Amino acid sequence: MVSVSDAEAIILNLVQPLNSQRDTEIVDLLAADHRILATPVTSPLDFPHWDNSAMDGYAVRYKDVQDSNAEQPAILEIVEEIPAGYQPKSTIQPGQAARIFTGAVMPTGADTVIMQERTRQEANHVLILAAPTKSQEFVRQKASFYQADTQLLPAGIQLKAQEIAVLAAAQCPRLNVYRRPRVAIFSTGDELVTLEKPLQPGQIVDSNQYALATLVRESGAEPLLLGIVKDDPVALQETMNYAINNADIVISSGGVSVGDYDYVDQILESLKAKIHIRTVEMRPGKPLTVATFPPQIVGVQSFTPVQQPTLYFGLPGNPAAVLVTFWRFVQPAIRKLSGLAEGWEPAFLKVRSHDELRSDGKRETYIWGRLHLVDGVYEFHKAGGSHSSGNLINLAQTNALAVLPIGTTLISPQQEVQVLQVSNS
Amino acid sequence: MVSVSDAEAIILNLVQPLNSQRDTEIVDLLAADHRILATPVTSPLDFPHWDNSAMDGYAVRYKDVQDSNAEQPAILEIVEEIPAGYQPKSTIQPGQAARIFTGAVMPTGADTVIMQERTRQEANHVLILAAPTKSQEFVRQKASFYQADTQLLPAGIQLKAQEIAVLAAAQCPRLNVYRRPRVAIFSTGDELVTLEKPLQPGQIVDSNQYALATLVRESGAEPLLLGIVKDDPVALQETMNYAINNADIVISSGGVSVGDYDYVDQILESLKAKIHIRTVEMRPGKPLTVATFPPQIVGVQSFTPVQQPTLYFGLPGNPAAVLVTFWRFVQPAIRKLSGLAEGWEPAFLKVRSHDELRSDGKRETYIWGRLHLVDGVYEFHKAGGSHSSGNLINLAQTNALAVLPIGTTLISPQQEVQVLQVSNS
Ligand code: NWS
Ligand code: NWS
């Protein structure tokens, strides 16, 4: 039995991130959402590219207008109109101005923009009704946001709308991102069936496969669904063999407890896996097997030329235990593997509990529920119904897990508790 | 000029959620991640389906073992072995037990399970070394989690792994979900180009289109990219016409300010749109046009048989203004439209600011940066670099916006500030 924090450390130490040379692929910018950048991006350009106007108005020489006001307005000759997107032709001389629009390039000679609300145009002259507060007002200087050759984005970040916009501005139609980790998934148990109706006596639906497929995809990896494997050592060994040669991570559920038909550990040993963890001091999730296979231990062709050790998670079969152990251990492992430079560790918030929370204090206890925002502050609400690890139904709409450490038997309403946020809706 | 909170109320009042009869589609369970359920799901089955064992051990009659202990163990005859997945054949009589495994159906006659660690098996008998703490111990009673015909999931929730697992358990291979809202996007401006290199003098990349396409997709809707429209009333009117007849929401960027080439409002009026908002007391994002078109105002065939009024957002062109106004107004509108029953309002957290934040106090000011978890508590860190609304570069890696209300000119370090969380990474 290892503690939860030791288990976390063991697991995350076993994970080697994807290789930034080998484990990458090129994607189109518009398909890059949520992908993880494998190469830093440097700007080929200054931002802004040119001195340009931040307002619709008039480009002027500061000296000509610094004392201007509504009573004694400077009167300037308009020598050009510069819409956005065009190159100015004139050089502004003393006593001159150019009509200019937001985003348009500043003409040489001018150094300041007067917004049009502070002017009056009369034929081809403009009256400046208020002096600018300073020279350069409403001019966005070339390179004032970023200079060419500055790094815009580091490697290892996950791309979202704002990064994709930056990459567009930097003229990157295609990007080098980490490939998605491949995660093989199978369920074990003679009682399991897919979605058949009606269920024969003793049968249940293999809901774990659906949960894990979705969790893996939500974590940014590609699930490889290997289906249901009977409680039969030969079938199990065959599936495991295939899985470890075709995935970065393998996840099975069921078959890790003490029953006569719990073959997972036995077959891992026969395949010469190194077993790092067998049980963890947590509830749910006590029987949790974590193992590694050295690269290419068995015959089948591996899916990448140079394979990393495959990480194996034998999750307990109970549906709540699958979700909790995935969120607590597997998701951080996938995220570290996927090339994320930071933010893959599970993040715990300290919040107020709305409800009483109980544990026997003997194992670290995970209680599912929801975070609600109350006046800008998160509050944890325990899910109603049975918190048996065999339950699944009341895990619907869970967005957080409250964590009661060993020795804590009670959290009273309004007391503070640590929670792991597992979803943002 | 309307206040930000008035603008929010006006916009969200204009949004009619998709219709739960008409605006739905059927998807496979494994493709349902992030979709929004349109019909409540009721369980056809009790959960658990049968009384079953929560442990590997022995199914017994409580009366036979209630006084058992290691010194004077009850000795029971094993009449059957019941693996998970099979229907028991025997009825347990006084003095008898069945070998049973986790998840296996309880045999009639037995009411309690003794975990195997508390037993010793000798040939076809089992010795019970410790009495159960109560009758029914380690038995999961039929229907104890949920009864058949109970509602498992309400309509209007977004499906994630845990709901998909519940739906699998309830044997739902296909689901009725809301169709994705369709959002047309275009950019206006003669200065805009796609990703061409090199840029001609005065040109800039249309980064807003990339930002908006990704934001729309992240919000669960389907972007319809209509490209760049020149500052030309005819082209603009044509695109707008097409957009409002082919989308639930239309978003343009640029062309809403006071410049001579800012045609958006003028064309909205010519198309008989109702303009609800023209400017909002915020920074960035002041020039923000919000309008509605009655259903099918113009000729083209509409994409749904009965069309709702189309909602039009004319966002300002400045890149930071596009992101901020999207997060503040457009995303909640899309989420409300999409059928979400709750949680579509923007959620503000009260957190400590790590940095000094400043505003002129005249408009509600949005400052971009990151929330960091420090000892379980969120802290806001302002992005470095220019907070000009023409900047985009330092919006990369933003996950939150700090909000300074009108009248607040300074938030000192360690002072509390309201933030809008815009991303969970
Ligand atoms: N004597 C003894 N007995 C023990 C323990 C012990 O200490 N001593 N520990 C406990 C704990 S303690 Mo816990 O995490 O702290 O709650 S799990 C746990 C459990 C782990 O057993 P395992 O061998 O992994 O799983 P099995 O295959 O038995 O299934 C387990 C359950 O889950 C269901 N199930 C399986 N697969 C699927 C699927 N794909 N979809 C949907 N449901 C599925 C399956 O029907 C069954 O009801 O054994 C218990 N028994
Ligand atoms: N006299 C006067 N002048 C004013 C204001 C005023 O009060 N009085 N208000 C301000 C404010 S104040 Mo602010 O939100 O509080 O910061 S926006 C705002 C602005 C809105 O003007 P608009 O007409 O919407 O946009 P335009 O087309 O002019 O572009 C704006 C900028 O964005 C760039 N841009 C456009 N499209 C894209 C794209 N697709 N991708 C990348 N960049 C793009 C484009 O190059 C240009 O630099 O006008 C200002 N001018």
**Residue range A38-54, pLDDT digits in tens:** 999 999 899 999 999 99
Cα–Cα distance measured from residue A335 to residue A158, given in angstroms and rounded to the nearest whole number: 10
Per-residue pLDDT band for B256 (boundaries 50, 70, 90) equals confident
Residue B172: which domain range? 25-45+147-178
User: Would the pLDDT of B303 be above 70?
Assistant: no
| Structure confidence at residue B299 (pLDDT) | 43
- Give B 281-310 residues with CB within 8 A of chain A: none
B313 and B365 fall within a common domain: no
Ligand 1 lining (C-beta closer than 6 Å): A 187, 189, 191-192, 204, 206-209, 253-259, 262, 283-287, 316-319, 321, 389-390; B 55-57, 84, 102-103, 115-117
B261 and B310 fall within a common domain: yes
> Please, which contacts does A102-105 make with residues 24 or more away whose CB atoms are closer than 8 Å?
A102/A53, A102/A54, A102/A55, A102/A56, A102/B257, A102/B259, A102/B317, A102/B318, A103/A52, A103/A53, A103/B189, A103/B191, A103/B204, A103/B317, A103/B390, A104/A52, A104/A53, A104/B191, A104/B202, A105/A50, A105/A51, A105/A52, A105/B201, A105/B202
Instruction: Find, in chain B, the residue whose alpha carbon is nearest to that of A102.
Output: B259
- Decide whether any atom of ligand 2 lies within 6 Å of the B339 Cβ: no
The alpha carbon of residue A305 is apart from the nearest alpha carbon of chain B, in Å, by 30
Count of domains forming chain B = 4
Closest CA to B168 of A254, A199, A219, A261: A199
A243 and A294 fall within a common domain: yes
Q: Do B425 and A158 touch (CB under 8 A)?
A: yes
For ligand 2, atom 30: residue with the closest CA: B317
Per-residue pLDDT band for B383 (boundaries 50, 70, 90) equals very high
B99 and B161 fall within a common domain: no
Residue A398 touches partner B, C-beta closer than 8 Å: yes
Structure tokens at A25: 């692929």
Q: What is the pLDDT of residues A268-300, one digit of tens each?
A: 999 999 999 999 999 999 999 999 998 754 444
- Please report, for the domain that includes residue A157, its CATH number: 3.90.105.10
Per-residue pLDDT band for B215 (boundaries 50, 70, 90) equals very high
Cα–Cα distance measured from residue A336 to residue A12, given in angstroms and rounded to the nearest whole number: 8
Per-residue pLDDT band for A307 (boundaries 50, 70, 90) equals low
Q: Which atom of ligand 1 is nearest to the CA of A315?
A: 24
B343, part of any domain: no
B71 and B202 fall within a common domain: no
Mean pLDDT of chain A, nearest integer: 94
Among A358-367, B125-134, B156-165, B249-258, where is mean pLDDT lowest?
B249-258
A342, part of any domain: no
Give the CA distances from residue A360 to residues A363, A386, B174, in Å, rounded to whole numbers and listed in that order: 7, 16, 40
Distance B102 CA to ligand 1 centre (A): 6
A159, part of any domain: yes
A174, part of any domain: yes
A296 and A361 fall within a common domain: no
- Please report, for the domain that includes residue A292, its CATH number: 3.40.980.10
Which of A178, A201, A231 represents a domain boundary (last residue)?
A178
For ligand 1, atom 4: residue with the closest CA: B55
Mean pLDDT for the stretch of residues B376-383: 98
| Structure confidence at residue A305 (pLDDT) | 44
B267 and B123 fall within a common domain: no
Neighbours of A207 (CB within 10 A): 24
Contact call for residues A17 and A335 (beta carbons, < 8 A): no
Q: DSSP H helical segments within B205-300, as ranges?
A: 207-218, 233-245, 264-270
Q: Which residues, at least 6 apart from A113, have a Cβ–Cβ distance to it below 8 Å?
A: A53, A54, A55, A57, A58, A59, A60, A100, A106, A132, A137, A138, A139
Closest CA to B304 of B21, B33, B15, B32: B21
Contact call for residues A75 and A126 (beta carbons, < 8 A): yes
Cα–Cα distance measured from residue A178 to residue A390, given in angstroms and rounded to the nearest whole number: 37
Mutate to test the interface with A, among B160, B217, B344, B352 (most CBs of A within 10 A): B160
Q: Do B195 and A171 touch (CB under 8 A)?
A: yes
Which of B140, B161, B192 represents a domain boundary (last residue)?
B140
Among A260-264, A418-422, B62-66, where is mean pLDDT lowest?
A260-264
Per-residue pLDDT band for B385 (boundaries 50, 70, 90) equals very high
B266 and B291 fall within a common domain: yes
A167 and A202 fall within a common domain: no
Cα–Cα distance measured from residue B119 to residue B57, given in angstroms and rounded to the nearest whole number: 8
Q: Do A86 and B204 touch (CB under 8 A)?
A: no
Residue B217 touches partner A, C-beta closer than 8 Å: yes
pTM for the full model?
0.96
- Please report, for the domain that includes residue B383, its CATH number: 2.40.340.10
Q: What is the pLDDT of residues A179-204, one digit of tens each?
A: 999 999 999 999 999 997 889 989 99
B238, part of any domain: yes
Cα–Cα distance measured from residue A18 to residue A6, given in angstroms and rounded to the nearest whole number: 23
Mean pLDDT for the stretch of residues A158-169: 98
Q: Which atom of ligand 1 is nearest to the CA of B48?
A: 47
Q: Which residues of B267-306 are buried (b: 16+ CB within 10 A; e: fewer)?
A: bbeebebeebbbbbbbbbbbbbbbbbbeeeeeeeeeeeee
Distance B101 CA to ligand 1 centre (A): 9
Residue B54 touches partner A, C-beta closer than 8 Å: yes
Neighbours of B396 (CB within 10 A): 21
